[in-house]
Structure 1
Amino acid sequence: MKAWPIWKSVLTNSIWHSETLTLPAQRRGFHLITDDIIAALPQINTLKVGLLHLWLKHTSAGLTINENADPSVRTDLEAWFNHTVKEDTPYFTHTFEGSDDMPAHIKSSLLGCEVTIPIADGKLQLGTWQGIILAEHRDNGGERSIIATLNGCQR
């Protein structure tokens, strides 16, 4: 019974916020987008504790968390994915949009299209060397849309 006032306080301070963020077209590769996400969501600063869920609305790009300091990590990730899933593979039949089309879908499936990041005291709880990365697997992928959903208790 004594827990109810705590839960009541949590419930009255809780928020849900969702919006679609549009990222400009990027060249093929792995791109650090942490600052873009934080700039687009000032509501993060208001949360004492919470979660940020990012959902990429595309099947030929991916989201991941990885190294944010040394860009050679992103270059090496791109090299590994291109080595592992080769274009012009003769048994691919889904090639109407070009030789990078089916490989992009496979790479997207390997990485996935979502990440969830904890929030504490108004900050994403990424590790010192972690960043949010958009993996663009197409030569001409175009703009990318991400649904950002915040849930948490305000400070």
Structure 2
Amino acid sequence: MFSAEIEVRTGAEPVVHDLTRDIEKFLAAANAGDGLLHVWVPHATAGLVVIETGAGSDDDLLRAIDEVLPRDNRWTHRHGSHGHGRDHVLPAFLPPYASVPVVDGSLVTGTWQSVCLVDTNIDNPVRRVRFSFLAG
């Protein structure tokens, strides 16, 4: 298995951060052929999705998260900024892992699909993401 960790600066606003270019660099460094890419976010308040970006779906996702998990005082977990408890519930809806097939060193995704980090935690502007390639 070949594995590496990157740092992603997500800033102070909720974000859908496209990891696809970072993954492509990782697969090139791994000299990947056929196998499986596993992506892992070792944080209690971030998740991963495979989604179209750039056409509004990423903004729609953040809006949907706000509707389903409002940033208000309903949450028992109360440290941090206003409504931060919802950030700790996020990974139950958007898991902190994703696995994607790799063929001939390239991700097997649909035309418009990207692997993205979703971070709504405005208290933590820096995230780590681990890529692991398991040759098949």
Query: What's the TM-score, normalizing by structure 1?
Result: 0.79
Q: How far apart, CA to CA, are the structure 1 residues paired with 2:23 and 2:34?
A: 18
Q: Which residue of 1 aligns with 2:34?
A: 49
Q: Which has the higher helix share?
A: 1
Query: In the alignment, is residue 61 of structure 1 matched against residue 51 of structure 2?
Result: no
Pairing 1:20-31 to 2, within 5 Å after superposition = 20-26=5-11, 27-31=13-17
Structure 2, unpaired ranges of 5+: none
Deviation at 1:69, TM superposition (A): 4.5
Structure 1, unpaired ranges of 5+: 1-15
List per-residue Cα deviations over 1:47-91 (Å, max 9, x = no partner).
331011011010111101011341x1000100010011112233x
**CA 1:116/1:42 → structure 2, altered by over 3 Å: closer, same or farther?**
same
Percentage identity across aligned positions? Answer: 24
Q: How far apart, CA to CA, are the structure 1 residues paired with 2:3 and 2:83?
A: 32
Q: How far apart, CA to CA, are the structure 2 residues paired with 1:34 and 1:67?
A: 11
List per-residue Cα deviations over 1:108-155 (Å, max 9, x = no partner).
2211000001110111111111001111111232211112111115xx
Task: List 4+ stretches of structure 1 deviating above 3 A.
Answer: none
Tell me whether 58-67 or 17-26 shows the greater mean CA deviation.
17-26
Q: Are the equivalent residues in 1 in contact too, given 2:28–2:105 (CA < 8 A)? A: no
Query: What's the TM-score, normalizing by structure 2?
Result: 0.89
Pairing 1:2-151 to 2, within 5 Å after superposition = 16-26=1-11, 27-44=13-30, 46-70=31-55, 72-90=56-74, 92-151=75-134
Deviation at 1:93, TM superposition (A): 2.3
Report the 3-state secondary structure (helix = DSSP H, G, I; strand = E; otherwise coil) of the residue aligned with 1:107.
Answer: helix
Aligned residues: 135
